[in-house]
């Protein structure tokens, strides 16, 4: 299994370009399919592409904010101190790897942005703690463990597809209406799959730790550092531009805990009121973003600290910001030309009620290699899946989660979401994807069984 993972790692390192290139290539593929399988001409398809290009601006903003607010929350002093305490727990290399994988997976079920950043910070802190205590841990494997949350996240509380279809005004509402979370995230099959992966993944990662003498040590520059740029930026010192060290009015406002307190109180009132009125149905994508924004403000304490943490997070969301209009353009071609109906009929032709979720899952895993954003993938694949499911009169909730499972599965061989992690740890994608690919193979079996056999 380890050799298979290393082979997959070499392949992705050599042949997987930047995800923006994939967005362009996928646009060209869909355009060519429109020419072949529909009656639209070249000029009409270009107009279809531009006609859809701006249709996902609101959705793209939601995806950006869910990543950025999670990033800002992970970069609070409280979270970092908690990670530092956790880092001293392991007493052996395998324990260190398993700890990082489990914590990262658990955080992934809460928020994928939080998992991404906290996973990187925890891998760094565990590596430093082990170095101080003379525990020889394989650093690339430790960092790979910090990426495991991205294989579980879409079945959790920040899952783009299930939260989107539970949000009023979503782009498929006229076609399918609203789908409550009791039909997606809180179904038995999803809960069981999430829990199995949460405990199985750390065990697999730990078993891959190399023998003594074969470890790759943490770089001395990282091992001797007490922090990193992103973390330090979350707590800037109080500026002092006035005479004799006095704070100016602008600086007092920037560092005012009263302003943050007012926003937090208003936010808590809004959250409590929403859940009191709607119950669990209040947990749509906007509510998740809002909860993390309020928590981030509370834990950062001042407006300027939170603003700077968000600024750092926006860098990690640059791919989402750039690529979502292209995903919207792809959706414009598919819906306006009728290509979405053509592809949906292909799935209907090869599927039975039992196998339909499995084939959607497999197709989503492949599409994720070209469309690494979960929200972007739902924008491209959602119309096809829902139309096919309705044609077969099948369970829409399981169809949505089949896309979610496929999207998260191949993150383990897709380096797009690993970029913040790799940037903070100084590693290359090829150094970690071999290990995560092995976990992916086991997860494929677990997810397949969950979709086909569990209720």
pLDDT tens across 180-203, in order?
Answer: 999 999 999 999 999 999 999 999
Q: Please, are residues 347 and 356 in contact by the beta-carbon 8 Å criterion?
A: yes
pLDDT in tens, 307-361: 999 998 887 778 778 888 888 888 889 878 988 778 877 877 888 888 999 999 9
- Provide the pLDDT confidence category of residue 37 given band limits of 50, 70 and 90: very high
Check residues 197 and 368 and name the one with the higher pLDDT. Answer: 197
pLDDT tier at 106, thresholds 50, 70, 90: very high
**pLDDT (0 to 100) of residue 180:** 93
Tracing tokens 């009121």 back to the chain, one arrives at: 273
Query: Average pLDDT of 365-390?
Result: 85
The per-residue pLDDT for 216 is: 80
Nearest to 284 by CA among 401, 165, 155: 165
Give the per-residue pLDDT at 367: 82
pLDDT of residue 225: 55
Mean pLDDT of 214-225: 77
Q: How many CB atoms lie within 10 A of CB 196?
A: 16
Give me the pLDDT at residue 6, please. Answer: 59
User: Which of the four pLDDT bands, split at 50, 70 and 90, describes residue 428?
Assistant: confident
- Roughly how many angstroms between the first and final C-alpha of the chain, as a whole number? 31
Stated length of the chain: 455
Provide mean pLDDT across the span 145-150.
95
Q: Where are any strands of DSSP class E within 233-322?
A: none
Residue 39 has pLDDT above 70, yes or no: yes
Per-residue pLDDT, 230: 43
- Tokens describing residue 412: 């383990």
Of 2 and 404, which is predicted with more confidence? Answer: 404
Average pLDDT, integer, range 154-178: 92
**Cα separations in angstroms, 217 against 96, 103, 147:** 14, 22, 19
> What pLDDT score does 447 carry?
98
Mean pLDDT, to the nearest integer, of 67-87? Answer: 87
Burial bucket for residue 252 (CB in 10 Å: 0-12, 13-18, 19+)? middle
pTM as predicted:
0.78
Asked whether residue 390 carries a pLDDT value surpassing 80, the answer given is: yes
Q: What is the mean pLDDT of residues 110-116?
A: 83
Residue recorded with tokens 């979960």: 374
pLDDT (tens digit per residue) in 223-278: 765 444 444 444 444 444 555 568 799 999 999 999 999 999 999 999 999 999 98
- Give the whole-angstrom CA distance, residue 115 versus residue 173: 30
Higher pLDDT, 413 or 259: 259
Mean pLDDT across the chain: 86
Contact 184, 165 (CB under 8 A): yes
Predicted pLDDT at 4? 63
Distance CA 385, CA 381 (A): 6
Distances (CA, A) of 64 to 280, 316, 451: 23, 9, 29
């Amino acid at each position: 299994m380890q050799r298979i993972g290393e082979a997959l790692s070499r392949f992705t390192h050599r042949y997987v370009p930047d995800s923006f290139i994939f967005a362009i290539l996928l646009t060209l593929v869909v355009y060519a399919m429109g020419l072949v399988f529909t009656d639209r001409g070249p000029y009409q398809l270009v107009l279809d592409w531009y006609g859809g290009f701006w249709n996902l601006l609101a959705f793209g903003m939601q995806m950006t904010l869910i990543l950025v607010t999670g990033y800002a929350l992970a970069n609070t002093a409280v979270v970092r101190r908690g990670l530092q305490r956790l880092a001293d727990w392991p007493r052996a290399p395998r324990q260190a790897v398993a700890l990082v994988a489990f914590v990262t997976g658990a955080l992934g079920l809460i928020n994928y942005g939080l998992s991404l950043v906290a996973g990187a910070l925890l891998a760094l802190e565990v590596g430093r703690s082990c170095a101080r205590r003379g525990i020889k841990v394989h650093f690339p494997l430790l960092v790979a463990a910090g990426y495991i949350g991205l294989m579980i996240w879409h079945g959790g509380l920040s899952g783009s597809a299930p939260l989107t279809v539970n949000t009023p005004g979503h782009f498929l509402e006229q076609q399918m209406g609203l789908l409550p979370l009791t039909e997606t995230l809180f179904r038995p099959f999803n809960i069981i799959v999430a829990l199995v992966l949460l405990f199985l993944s750390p065990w697999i990662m730990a078993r891959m730790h190399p023998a003594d003498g074969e470890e790759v040590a943490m770089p001395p520059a990282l091992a001797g550092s007490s922090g990193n740029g992103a973390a330090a930026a979350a707590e800037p010192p109080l500026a002092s531009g006035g005479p004799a060290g006095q704070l100016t009015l602008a600086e007092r406002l920037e560092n005012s805990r009263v302003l943050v307190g007012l926003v937090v109180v208003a936010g808590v009132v809004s959250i409590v009121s929403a859940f009191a009125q709607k119950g669990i149905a209040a947990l749509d994508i906007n509510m998740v973003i809002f909860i993390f924004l309020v928590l981030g403000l509370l834990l950062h304490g001042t407006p300027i600290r939170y603003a700077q943490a968000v600024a750092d997070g926006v860098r990690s969301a640059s791919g989402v910001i750039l690529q979502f209009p292209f995903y919207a353009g792809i959706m414009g071609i598919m819906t306006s030309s009728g290509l979405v109906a053509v592809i949906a009929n292909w799935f209907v032709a090869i599927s039975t009620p039992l196998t339909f979720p499995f084939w959607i899952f497999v197709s989503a895993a492949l599409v994720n290699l070209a469309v690494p954003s979960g929200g972007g993938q739902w924008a491209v694949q959602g119309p096809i899946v829902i139309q096919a499911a309705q044609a077969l009169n099948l369970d829409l909730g399981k169809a949505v989660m089949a896309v979610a499972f496929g999207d998260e599965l191949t993150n383990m061989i897709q380096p797009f979401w690993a970029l913040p992690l790799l940037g903070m740890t100084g590693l290359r994608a090829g150094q970690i994807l071999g290990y995560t690919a092995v976990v992916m193979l086991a997860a494929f079996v677990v997810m397949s069984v969950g979709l086909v056999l569990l209720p």
